[in-house]
Amino acid sequence: MGHREDLLEGAKRCLLEKGYARTTARDIVAASGTNLASIGYHYGSKEALLNLAFLKVTEEWGDVLTERPDVDDDRGDGGPQSPLDQFRDTWERVIDSYGQTRSVWQLQMEVVSRIDQDPDLQKALAGPQREGRDGLAENMLGIDPETDPEKARVAGLFCQALLAGVMVQWLMDSESAPSAQDLTDGLKAVLEGRVRQEGPGVADQAGPSAGVRGDGDVLERRTG
């Protein structure tokens, strides 16, 4: 690797070990085996380097969480995995990774707290955050952002909000934080409660594809 790549790898290590605010240019130089002048030459500033390093750390973390295991995802009857099963399985990977990726979770919380005082950081995160929503919608709920972009957008917003809340709970009190099954059961309870509140005739009016099946699979209401 050249100095540019060495600096990026060194900055990533520093972020995970020391956090954003405590990482100095000299820390990065020591971790990368380069020199101070290289930071300005390749990245313009320490902040620009750290911002890129944070994006890379988050991207790599996301790749690990959304990587499908080498197992058969079918339900055993030849059909595809249900949305709720996919939701639960993805959350199991997220939560199971906590012990190994706690520093990434802490780093994300720190960076969010700096947004208001760092416009460049906010600008750098805007695009990747939108892309991340699409990835969450696809991997957690099986919604293809290319075939149904609006549905993927709103589902991604939901998943992103849920992810942030789960991260906070695990960082504050891991013993009482939700499990993947807790989150899945909670989603089912919300959906089933909505059907009950709308009344027993709603599903009949919308057709046989409305409501929630007994096995927990969410069925979309068809219109027209």
Q: What percent of the chain has pLDDT over 90?
A: 56
C-alpha count within 13 angstroms, C-beta hemisphere, residue 44: 6
C-alpha count within 13 angstroms, C-beta hemisphere, residue 131: 10
* Identity at 89, one-letter amino acid code: D
pLDDT on residue 99: 85
pLDDT in tens, 26-66: 999 999 999 999 999 999 999 999 999 999 999 888 877 76
CA 215 → CA 37, 71, 85, 105, 188, distances in Å? 61, 22, 10, 33, 10
Query: So where are the chain's domains?
Result: 51-178
The CA angle 140-145-148, to the nearest 5 degrees, is: 110
pLDDT in tens, 77-101: 555 778 889 899 999 999 998 888 8
pLDDT on residue 69: 58
Q: Are strands 211-212 and 218-219 parallel, antiparallel or unpaired?
A: antiparallel
Q: Which residue has the higher pLDDT, 154 or 73?
A: 154
Report the predicted TM-score, pTM, of the whole model to 2 decimal places: 0.76
pLDDT on residue 102: 92
Q: Which residue has the higher pLDDT, 7 or 128?
A: 7
Quick one: CA dihedral 203, 206, 207, 210, positive or negative? negative
pLDDT in tens, 175-210: 999 999 999 999 999 888 765 666 555 444 444 333
What are the residues facing 218 on neighbouring strands?
212
* Identity at 189, one-letter amino acid code: A
